[in-house]
């Protein structure tokens, strides 16, 4: 059962699509106090667990840390952090009483889940206007399904978006893309998409293509498509301020950019230099920005990734001026060690500063709203601009679109990726842990940068990471400029990579049908073991294995120099190792086991009495036979 409580006059975030009658605040089942901040409290028993919050650091069980809902351009996904790119304000508490809580509020929320006091959860909402949903149910998944019903069905991309995808910040010329395609082909490595990072544009201007690099872009897109490769360009939130640039001029003329307190366009620096931030909270501006994607869909492009939309602000013109002033001040005195730290902080503090987020404004239906009060829906509304345009123009399931920043509600029109991780072993595990949490919040089309974005990947890290990636709907290898090349053909003999990637294509029919079912009935593709085996004390605490669909359990290797791993079977299962076209099977009893897994193998566990169907491997989804499937067991 869902109860909705309203405080003040909340901003419509468009997260919930069902009409739910309001309940009186007196019947709110948890402690609630109103004031400048709204505070919700509830006590925690020893065994209580808390799930949810979507894209965040740390465990599947969120208890014992303090998180913040504040969409952040945060590249260091370390466990001291409190927020990443998304604001996913939904938790499920599994205690004596099971309940779900969704705080529909577009600005900052602090979730102290037993951090200051281990026996208490304290949720501080930074404002007076919010809708709060309290959901009671029989089980965790029952609560999740009720929630998913009111937020609407999850976005479904085209089937080819389930193929393997290669990306790299640094591919620029046509030849780079052709090389990637040919090297995959030559080495028997499947591939469906190649990503175009910011360098394809003309001076990082959205919806433009650098003509020197791509003299006939449409012909190039067509040629790639003939080879069954989709090119997926990036779109950034900031629009370069430049005279004569059609997007900027149109937006400027129509007043579609965010403004400062005096009504002048707010100016900040991102990749293109000084940009205007489109006002995605203004319905007309949102439609306008969405329609700009046409410049690229007209060229045959059918997929996009939206970036820097928290929004990321490297600096604002004002912020930079202030920092320089501060440095001059420090310089004019004798600089000691504290002066050094002061200078350092003055410079670092310029990026993504709260002062900047508090100093620009939106025009939402004629109402002037300070950005900081609606910060968490900015990126979501950018991506909805695109998603809504695609649905209107081309129909559902025709275009691939996913975003870095997100808020619940955007899951109906797009997917997400987990941003700038590192080529660290621990980030394989973080990737796994985020999956059920984002699924709870409706985001099904998701995945991490496989192989890691920052830092340098090794052959074994990439293979192990891909062996997890074969199960995630978005399976994309992406890395940052200046890091070690990590395409599957960069590490000598490609056979092991071909074996792992072939498994992905064998699994696509299963992953795709599971995905569709989960979108349709509000289920999670990936569940913590605790959801399925609540009575099993060991299973409840497992954080490095997940249940997949209704049939499987996954348990990837996520440590270096390991020839296998320990795995806990919460029931009797068949242990399967998939590699290329090979399948080995072994029946195993409930309990703890050590299993050996080579670098070219993908481990999978099938529940007793269940089975899944596999296709033959293929080099891309266009060549995949999704009709003639064979039983795995
Ligand atoms: C951001 C994105 C990353 C991209 C880079 C350059 O850091 O998260 O994926 O490669 O910008 O566009």
User: From the alpha carbon of 420, which atom of ligand 1 is closest?
Assistant: 8
Decide whether any atom of ligand 1 lies within 6 Å of the 169 Cβ: yes
Say if 545 falls within a structural domain. yes
Say if 570 falls within a structural domain. yes
Most ligand 1 atoms within 8 A of CB, residue of 480, 482, 483, 486 to mutate: 480
Say if 624 falls within a structural domain. yes
- Taking Cα atoms as reference points, which of 461, 262, 259 lies closest to residue 362? 259
The rounded Å distance from CA 573 to ligand 1 centre is 41
Most ligand 1 atoms within 8 A of CB, residue of 72, 84, 203, 307 to mutate: 307
The rounded Å distance from CA 215 to ligand 1 centre is 25
pLDDT under 70: residue ranges of the chain? none
Q: Tell how many helices (H) and how many strands (E) occur in the chain.
A: 15, 37
Round to whole Å and give the CA distance between 108 and 281: 17
The two structure tokens encoding residue 495: 């056979």
Decide whether any atom of ligand 1 lies within 6 Å of the 198 Cβ: yes
DSSP string, 203-262: TTBTT---TTT-TTHHHHHHHHHHTT-EEEEEEES-EE--TT-HHHHHHHHHT-B-B-TT
CATH code for position 612: 2.60.40.4040
Report the Cα–Cα distance between both ends of the chain, in Å, rounded. 39
The two structure tokens encoding residue 225: 């498509």
User: From the alpha carbon of 169, which atom of ligand 1 is closest?
Assistant: 10
pLDDT of residue 15: 98
The rounded Å distance from CA 234 to ligand 1 centre is 9
The two structure tokens encoding residue 615: 């296709």
Decide whether any atom of ligand 1 lies within 6 Å of the 364 Cβ: no
Say if 483 falls within a structural domain. no
* Residue with CA closest to ligand 1 atom 4: 169
The rounded Å distance from CA 190 to ligand 1 centre is 24
Identify the helix (H) or strand (E) that includes residue 569: strand 564-569
* Residue with CA closest to ligand 1 atom 10: 169
Chain CA centroid to CA 27, Å:
35
Residue 216 C-beta-side C-alpha neighbours within 13 Å: 5
Decide whether any atom of ligand 1 lies within 6 Å of the 404 Cβ: yes
pLDDT of residue 209: 98
Identify the helix (H) or strand (E) that includes residue 521: helix 495-521
Say if 620 falls within a structural domain. yes
Decide whether any atom of ligand 1 lies within 6 Å of the 307 Cβ: yes
Say if 222 falls within a structural domain. no
The rounded Å distance from CA 117 to ligand 1 centre is 38
User: From the alpha carbon of 449, which atom of ligand 1 is closest?
Assistant: 9
The two structure tokens encoding residue 169: 């910040």
Domains: count for the chain: 2
The rounded Å distance from CA 550 to ligand 1 centre is 35
Round to whole Å and give the CA distance between 38 and 299: 49
The rounded Å distance from CA 158 to ligand 1 centre is 23
The rounded Å distance from CA 375 to ligand 1 centre is 20
Say if 310 falls within a structural domain. no
The rounded Å distance from CA 150 to ligand 1 centre is 33
Exposed, middle or buried: residue 431 (CB in 10 Å: 0-12, 13-18, 19+)?
Answer: buried
Residues 404 and 419 sit within 8 Å (Cβ to Cβ): yes
Decide whether any atom of ligand 1 lies within 6 Å of the 232 Cβ: no
DSSP string, 399-465: SEEEESSEETTGGGT-EEE--S-BS-THHHHHHHHHHHHHHHTT--SEE-EET-SBS---HHHHHHH
Say if 10 falls within a structural domain. yes
pLDDT of residue 476: 99
Looking at 108, 133, 151, the residue that finishes a domain is: 151
Looking at 106, 126, 151, the residue that finishes a domain is: 151
* Residue with CA closest to ligand 1 atom 3: 420
Chain CA centroid to CA 298, Å:
27
Bridge pairing between strands 98-104 and 630-631: unpaired
Exposed, middle or buried: residue 560 (CB in 10 Å: 0-12, 13-18, 19+)?
Answer: exposed
pLDDT of residue 95: 83
* Residue with CA closest to ligand 1 atom 7: 420
Most ligand 1 atoms within 8 A of CB, residue of 76, 167, 169, 421 to mutate: 169
For residue 121, what are the β-bridge partners?
42, 113
The rounded Å distance from CA 107 to ligand 1 centre is 24
Decide whether any atom of ligand 1 lies within 6 Å of the 197 Cβ: yes
Decide whether any atom of ligand 1 lies within 6 Å of the 420 Cβ: yes
The rounded Å distance from CA 308 to ligand 1 centre is 8
Looking at 101, 120, 151, the residue that finishes a domain is: 151
CATH code for position 69: 2.60.40.1760
pLDDT of residue 335: 80
Residues 479 and 443 sit within 8 Å (Cβ to Cβ): no
The two structure tokens encoding residue 620: 């891309």
Residue ranges making up the domain that contains 76: 2-151
């Amino acid at each position: 059962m869902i109860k909705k409580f309203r405080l003040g006059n909340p901003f419509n975030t468009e997260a919930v699509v069902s009409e739910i009658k309001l309940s009186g605040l007196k019947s709110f089942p948890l402690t609630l106090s109103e004031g400048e901040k709204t505070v919700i409290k509830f006590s925690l028993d020893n065994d209580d667990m808390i799930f949810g919050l979507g894209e965040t650091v740390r465990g599947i069980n969120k208890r014992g840390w303090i998180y913040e809902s504040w969409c952040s351009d945060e590249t260091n996904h370390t466990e001291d952090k409190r927020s990443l790119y998304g604001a996913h304000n939904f938790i499920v508490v599994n205690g004596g009483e099971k309940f779900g809580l969704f705080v529909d509020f577009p600005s900052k929320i602090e979730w102290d889940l037993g951090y200051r006091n281990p026996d208490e959860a304290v949720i501080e909402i930074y404002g007076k206007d919010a809708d709060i949903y309290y959901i009671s149910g029989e089980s965790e998944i029952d609560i999740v399904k009720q929630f998913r019903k009111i937020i609407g069905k999850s976005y479904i991309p085209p089937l080819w978006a389930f193929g393997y995808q290669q990306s790299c910040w640094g591919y620029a010329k046509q030849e780079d893309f052709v090389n990637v395609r040919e090297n995959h082909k030559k080495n028997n490595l499947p591939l469906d998409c190649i990503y175009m990072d910011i360098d394809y544009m003309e001076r990082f201007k959205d919806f433009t293509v650098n003509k020197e690099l791509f003299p006939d872009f449409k012909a190039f897109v067509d040629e790639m498509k003939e080879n069954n490769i989709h090119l997926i360009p990036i779109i950034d939130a900031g629009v370069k301020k430049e005279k004569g640039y059609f997007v900027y001029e149109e937006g400027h003329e129509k007043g579609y950019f965010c403004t400062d307190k005096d009504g002048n366009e707010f100016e900040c620096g991102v990749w293109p230099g000084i940009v205007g931030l489109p006002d995605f909270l203004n319905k007309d501006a949102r439609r306008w920005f969405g329609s700009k994607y046409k410049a690229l869909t007209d060229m045959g492009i059918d997929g996009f990734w939206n970036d820097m939309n928290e929004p990321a602000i490297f600096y604002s013109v004002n912020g930079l001026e202030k920092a320089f002033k501060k440095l001059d001040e420090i310089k004019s005195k004798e600089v000691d060690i504290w002066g050094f730290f002061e200078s350092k902080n003055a410079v670092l503090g310029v990026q993504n500063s709260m002062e900047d987020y508090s100093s620009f404004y939106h025009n939402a239906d004629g109402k002037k709203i300070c950005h900081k009060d609606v910060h968490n829906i900015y990126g979501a509304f950018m991506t909805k601009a695109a998603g809504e345009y695609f649905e209107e123009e081309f129909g559902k399931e025709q275009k691939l679109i996913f975003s870095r920043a997100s808020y619940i509600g955007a899951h109906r029109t797009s997917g997400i990726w987990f941003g700038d991780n590192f080529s660290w072993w621990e980030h394989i595990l973080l990737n796994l842990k985020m999956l059920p949490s984002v699924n709870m919040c409706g985001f099904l089309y998701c995945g991490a940068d496989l192989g890691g974005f920052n830092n340098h990947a090794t052959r074994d890290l990439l293979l192990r990471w891909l062996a997890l990636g074969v199960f995630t709907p978005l399976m994309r290898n992406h890395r940052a400029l200046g890091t070690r090349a990590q395409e599957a053909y960069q590490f000598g003999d490609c056979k092991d990579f071909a074996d792992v990637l072939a498994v992905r294509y064998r699994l696509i029919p299963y992953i795709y049908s599971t995905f569709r079912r989960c979108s349709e009935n509000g289920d999670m593709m990936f569940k913590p073991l605790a959801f399925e085996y609540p009575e099993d004390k060991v299973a409840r605490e497992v954080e490095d294995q997940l249940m997949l669909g209704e049939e499987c359990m996954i348990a990837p290797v996520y440590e270096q120099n390991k020839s296998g791993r320990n795995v806990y079977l919460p029931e009797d299962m068949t242990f399967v190792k998939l590699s290329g076209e090979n399948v080995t099977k072994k029946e195993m009893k409930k309990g703890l086991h050590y299993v050996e897994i080579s670098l070219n193998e993908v481990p999978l566990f099938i529940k007793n009495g269940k089975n899944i169907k596999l296709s033959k491997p293929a080099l891309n989804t266009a060549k995949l036979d999704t009709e003639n499937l064979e039983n795995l067991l």
